[in-house]
């Protein structure tokens, strides 16, 4: 291990042999850090926090502190971070709560930029970009390959679907469907994330089917739930079914304007 002499590693912490820890960093007694991870100076990692392999954690990040939730009563709750994540300066991530399943979870390969706050019980998938100064309230879920623009805020219990893109400075109070672009205060649908789909989908037929499904759901003027059921029953495309199922499952609603 390459641990700076001014770092404080409390008894009980489990740290892989090749982890690098910078000056004035504090690691709590219930923290586990996997191999290849680097932690810069002036970072605080505490609570029941598990960090996987090959993560880069930059200076002044604060990970694993107790939830900012008045219902929290000292329970043993957790922060679980996967592999190959980049967590930039001044990022602040809390553990979970009893009411949210006890866990805040971050997957693999994510870029979490500076000054991001991620509240209790958030579930973040893989290969997601969360840009600077974004705040996620408790219980937010973000699916794989989404992009969250900077200086945005996401209301508690909202969900963002896979390959969705949220424009910078947005305020999200409803669920953002997969493959879509949303922006504004309050954020609403602006269309499909075509550039993101073209970068990630080799089969252009999939993109064509998603376009048809988007029009059927959000531009036809028909009842949203009924349109979603029709797509699930009639389409064989897994991406279309994914989009339609998201619409059926939403608890906070979809922010679209009928034409």
> Residues 107, 138, 161, 196: which is the catalytic one?
138
Q: Which of 100, 19, 3, 9 is nearest to 52 (CA)?
A: 19
Of residues 105, 110, 108, 58, the one with CA closest to residue 83: 108
CA 178 – CA 164 distance, rounded (Å): 5
Among residues 114, 115, 90, 116, the alpha carbon closest in space to that of 104 is found at 116
- CA 155 to CA 175: how far, in whole Å? 9
The answer to whether 62 and 112 are in contact (CB under 8 A) is: no
Catalytic residue (one of 120, 139, 155, 216): 120
Rg of the chain taking only CA atoms, in angstroms: 20
Say whether 120 is catalytic.
Answer: yes
Would you call 138 a catalytic residue per the annotation?
yes
Per annotation, catalytic residue among 64, 121, 125, 196: 121
191 labelled catalytic: no
Q: Which residues are catalytic?
A: 120-121, 138
């Amino acid at each position: 291990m390459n641990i700076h002499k001014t770092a404080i590693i409390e008894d009980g912490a489990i740290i892989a042999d090749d982890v690098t820890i910078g000056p004035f960093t504090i690691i709590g007694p219930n923290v586990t850090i996997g191999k290849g991870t680097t932690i810069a100076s002036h970072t605080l990692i505490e609570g029941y926090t598990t960090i996987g392999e090959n993560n880069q954690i930059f200076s002044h990040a604060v990970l694993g502190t107790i939830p900012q939730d008045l219902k929290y009563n000292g329970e043993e709750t957790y922060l679980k971070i996967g592999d190959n994540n980049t967590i930039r300066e001044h990022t602040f991530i809390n553990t979970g709560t009893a009411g949210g399943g006890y866990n805040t979870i971050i997957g693999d390969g994510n870029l979490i930029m500076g000054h991001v706050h991620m509240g209790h019980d958030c579930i973040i998938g893989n290969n997601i970009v969360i840009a600077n100064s974004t705040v996620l309230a408790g219980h937010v879920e973000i699916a794989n390959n989404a992009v969250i623009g900077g200086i945005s805020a996401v209301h508690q219990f909202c969900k963002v679907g896979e390959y969705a893109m949220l424009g910078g400075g947005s305020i999200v109070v409803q669920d953002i469907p997969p493959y879509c672009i949303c922006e504004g205060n309050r954020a609403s649908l602006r269309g499909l994330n075509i550039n993101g789909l073209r970068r990630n989908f080799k089969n252009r037929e999939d993109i064509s089917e998603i376009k048809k499904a988007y029009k059927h759901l959000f531009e036809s003027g028909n009842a949203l739930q009924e349109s979603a059921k029709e797509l699930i029953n009639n389409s064989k495309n897994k991406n279309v079914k994914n989009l339609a199922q998201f619409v059926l499952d939403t608890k906070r609603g979809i922010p679209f304007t009928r034409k």
